Structure 1
């Protein structure tokens, strides 16, 4: 924040051609972002009731339970359903969500309440799969033994019978090789390494969820423990892009990975991940839906209403039923949109698109994130739809009302993403603009050329004069400086280059 500005005339040494200019107070480059509360009312009834009850009993913002509830639904449906938007555009139904709250906000308690039914669903899947695994293991062992006996018999056979016995042995060996033993079903992993996540996803048919009340997964992705960043599985696991791992020790193929991530972290974690080289450039940060709610610490009630048993039971039962109903799908269930739902999504896209412009667009500095907003909205619409209809949601299309609810969630996450990316310092234009203000103040310049200004700035931050232009435009829009054209001093030659006149209060300001 820059202080000490007032309405002043330019200094007496104003350059020729720079007419007297009345300066008004500049507009701060950034202000406090408006962060709307989580729109609990858009959730299906049984989810809404539980989120509201959890927020009341734990005295936490509904944003925490609401965002985790979406991650829970994505865990239940991810990898087992896709939403067909239009044409060849399909979106998987997995999500990456992260909620940031300071310590003492009972994140772990809320996390447990929301995710417990997933662990129960996983337990039921394991119980149901156990006899199948045992039978498959016995069948595979017998098949290998039969192939071994046939191979031994062929090896000791007389020449006239050897060809036939070899063919029999080869056939039995091929049969044994083709038999696979199912693995224990796993829905959830904690802060696992990229290698562990990849292996688990390969075993689980491409489906997995990483849920944690800490932010350690970001340290793991950044390579803080392995020495090298490894984000491939987290990039492709969100988009559903084919993943191939070919190493000396293992080969794993996942045709349609569907990874869900649900995190509850401290705000400091967001500041740190914004500094990690490669996270933003490769698009990892653009894949998360962010929530940065206002902490209720200091205003919490001591005696609160407990979660009603019926509300908790309905939530647990429905999460388990939704998970189990889709667990056996190998080809994902395809969820369609009604024409009205598609029209609502198109209208939303048309509103968002102009905001992605690099210059002047509200979302221009987070265009990587906002460019995925329509897809994320379609995913949330499908999840709300499945939660509304539970076991048979894939038999009917998403309605306009459900899409409108998802769009409201998209607008909520957009407002919070703007605040989060401010925290992470993800807008390079604002950073460069602040460096320009520092340079104008440090050099005590009231009037300067672009070239002279460029020479005192860091080449790392401002590689070219072209990179300087958006920052100058932003500062001019906010009243910190103005560009003017000096008068010609002669009749021949090029006209003088435009110059920059700085607000006279800059040299007296404090950061």
Structure 2
């Protein structure tokens, strides 16, 4: 700090000179100088005297009032970073290259990467419990929370690129078959309908056409993932895609859909609850046949802004029914404002290796009857037993996960799923070898390292540390409105009537006090004469508009 080491006596004697020194500066430099000066004055209890002197000198010199720099709304908790041991070598190197190219923290990249890999392998194998016959599918749900401008889309784009290429190639090869299927289906439907009309209606003919329709093999365009869909549309797409699909969304709009924003507030998350474990699901439709899914699997990878995350956490349906507790979470460090003009390109070999990995995983055929199972080596079984016991201890009274039992009780299964995903990435070219080779201790250790890292992220998400309070959200909303004003001040009444019509006077109180505490505004009262209520004036820190 600029005035570190200055004594109280020296500061007191030189307040006037220091204020003059401050006002010869301009813009952010002036605000930074005054902020350091005020911080030092506060440490000695001299802030009121400094404010009085500063106001008097500015008035005398015809200078605008001095302002401190605004403070951030909250200081992010220091969460443990992703370590090299959290990913297998081939994934670790590519993730590092992407994070350096996009200029984001590795924690921004890890869950989108896992979600894409999960989408590639779900439904192609399961992983056994080390000590019993229970199995887990390989789909996971993930959520990365980052503010606007933090390059979520740029990060997501790198991991999804080979998926898009594979999907385009397959659809080009399927184009004629899809067209033929649609033509045959339309033809048979019309023939059936015609057989049921007029005096020549023929029930047997109609039934024959119905039989042919039932026997007609469906051929649809390949759709590996969607960004958002209503529950009904999601179930319909799952039916078309062999009951395997992913929701990969870098905007978080899926929460709006699930929360009923587009369906009169009707929350319906049943399909996402059932498709996490592959449980049978039927959705009834008024205008067409019901959709019945026998073993649907869904991978979910979301990158959302804090506001979407906060809304999801406060939604009683999402939390009360365990939907939120199925997720891995990540809160990456913010990098916006600290980006370099140039960043290193992703090495071509790493890019090719990743592209080849994704395409080879996607090319693994879905099993027609018995699904392959991944077993454990003795070393892996020991590691998983230790982790299981550790989770159980942490859910006991007074321990870390005492109030997070619903999430923690699902963490062991998540660990198995991640281990299964890593195992298949190691044997991506031969599924038979993958299921004949037990999960190694090294792969288990890597998966468990990632899951231990995820525990702190989940604690931050579910303990309330990571969620914005309503006051913070409202303060940020009001601040954005104030930034858009041409004038440097506004009355509280004008703010209510012109800028934030959805608020009432009581709603404004706490957010405005917060903005004042953080140096974004100053609040004062002005009287016109002796009678009537004083006007509440809001003066805006000029530095927030720079």
Q: TM-score, normalised by structure 2?
A: 0.65
1:233 partnered with 2:271: yes
| C-alpha spacing 1:130/1:331, structure 2 compared with 1 (3 Å) | farther
Question: Which shows bigger deviation, 329-338 or 222-231?
Answer: 329-338
2:301 corresponds to 1:262: yes
Runs (4+) of structure 1 exceeding 6 A deviation are 141-152, 165-169
Q: What is the CA-CA distance between 1:149 and the residue it aligns to?
A: 11
> Gaps spanning 5+ residues in structure 2: where?
1-74, 468-546
Residues 282-321 of structure 1 correspond to what in structure 2 (within 5 A)?
A: 282-321=321-360
Contact in 1 for aligned 2:128/2:373 (Cα 8 Å): yes
Residue 36 (1) aligns with residue 80 (2): yes
Residues 153-186 of structure 1, C-alpha deviations (whole Å, 9 max, x = no match): xx89xxxxxxxx9989866753443223221111
The answer to whether the 8 Å contact 2:88/2:446 transfers is: no
Contact persistence 2:255–2:312 (CA under 8 A): yes
- Between the aligned partners of 2:205 and 2:287, the Cα distance in structure 1 is 32
User: For residues 61 and 199 of structure 1, what CA distance do their matches in structure 2 show?
Assistant: 37
- Asked if 1:181 corresponds to 2:255, the answer is no
Structure 1 pair 147–212 and aligned structure 2 pair: CA distance change class (3 A): closer
- Cα deviation, 1:234-263, whole Å, max 9, x if unaligned, reads 111112211111232241111111111111
Say if 1:424 and 1:189 are closer, same or farther in 2 by CA, change over 3 A: farther
Q: Which residue of 2 aligns with 1:59?
A: 103
Per-residue deviation at 1:356? 1.1
Residue 423 of structure 1 pairs with residue 468 of structure 2: no
State the shift of 1:68 in Å.
0.8
Q: Equivalent residue for 1:200?
A: 237
For the residues of structure 2 that align with 1:330 and 1:197, how far apart are their CA atoms?
A: 25
Could you say what secondary structure the match of 1:364 adopts?
coil
Paired position in structure 2 for 1:347: 386
Provide the residue aligned with 1:397 in structure 2: 438
Q: Which moved more, 1:263-272 or 1:87-96?
A: 263-272
Aligned residue in 1 for 2:249: 212
Per-residue deviation, 1:268: 2.9
Matching residue of 2:403: 365
* CA pair 145-193 structure 1, distance change in 2 beyond 3 A: closer
Secondary structure, aligned partner of 1:76: helix
Displacement of 1:297 in angstroms is 3.2
Structure 1, unpaired ranges of 5+ = 1-30, 157-164, 427-511
- Report the number of matched residues: 386
| Alignment pair present for 1:242 and 2:280 | yes
Counterparts in 2 of 1:283 and 1:149: CA distance versus 1, 3 Å? closer
* Cα distance, 1:274–1:168 mapped onto 2, change above 3 Å: closer
User: 1:114 Cα shift?
Assistant: 1.0
- Residue aligning to 2:148: 103
User: Is 1:120–2:165 an aligned residue pair?
Assistant: yes
User: Is this contact kept in 1: 2:88–2:443, CA < 8 A?
Assistant: no
CA distance in 2, matches of 1:169, 1:34: 68
User: Of the candidates 132, 135, 141, which is equivalent to residue 87 of structure 1?
Assistant: 132
Structure with bigger RCO (C-alpha 8 Å, 6+ apart): 1
Residues in 2 aligned to 1:225 and 1:141: alpha-carbon distance in whole angstroms:
31
TM-fit CA distance, 1:362? 0.8
**Inter-partner Cα distance in structure 2 for 1:329 and 1:39:** 39
What secondary structure is seen at the aligned counterpart in 2 of 1:365? coil
Structure 2: how far apart are the matches of 1:218 and 1:168?
Answer: 47
Checking the alignment, whether the CA contact within 8 Å between 1:270 and 1:420 is kept in structure 2 is no
CA offset at residue 141 of structure 1? 6.9
Report how far residue 225 of structure 1 moved. 2.4
Q: Taking structure 1 as the reference length, what is the TM-score of the superposition? A: 0.69
Change (3 A) 1:329 1:63: farther
- 1:383 corresponds, among 421, 436, 448, to 421
Structure 2: distance between partners of 1:395 and 1:329: 18
CA, structure 1 residues 149+82, in 2 after alignment: closer, same or farther (shift >3 Å)? same
CA distance in 1, matches of 2:398, 2:438: 37
Q: How far 1:300 sits from its partner (Å)?
A: 3.7
Aligned-residue offset at 1:423 = 3.3
* CA deviation vs aligned residue, 1:24-70 (integer Å, no higher than 9, x gap): xxxxxxx9855211234432333222211011112101111111110
Post-superposition shift, 1:81?
2.4
SS at match of 1:191: coil
Q: Secondary structure at the match of 2:403?
A: helix
Once residues 330 and 101 of structure 1 are traced to their aligned partners in structure 2, the CA distance between those partners, rounded to angstroms, is 42
Q: Deviations over 1:429-462 (max 9, x none)?
A: xxxxxxxxxxxxxxxxxxxxxxxxxxxxxxxxxx
The change in CA–CA distance for 1:120 and 1:32 in structure 2 (over 3 A counts) is closer
Distance in 2 separating the partners of 1:249 and 1:219? 24
Report if the CA contact (8 A) 2:276-2:298 is conserved. yes
Shift of 1:214: 1.1
CA distance in 1, matches of 2:466, 2:166: 40
Aligned partners of 1:208, 1:104: CA distance in 2, in Å? 29
RMSD: 2.9
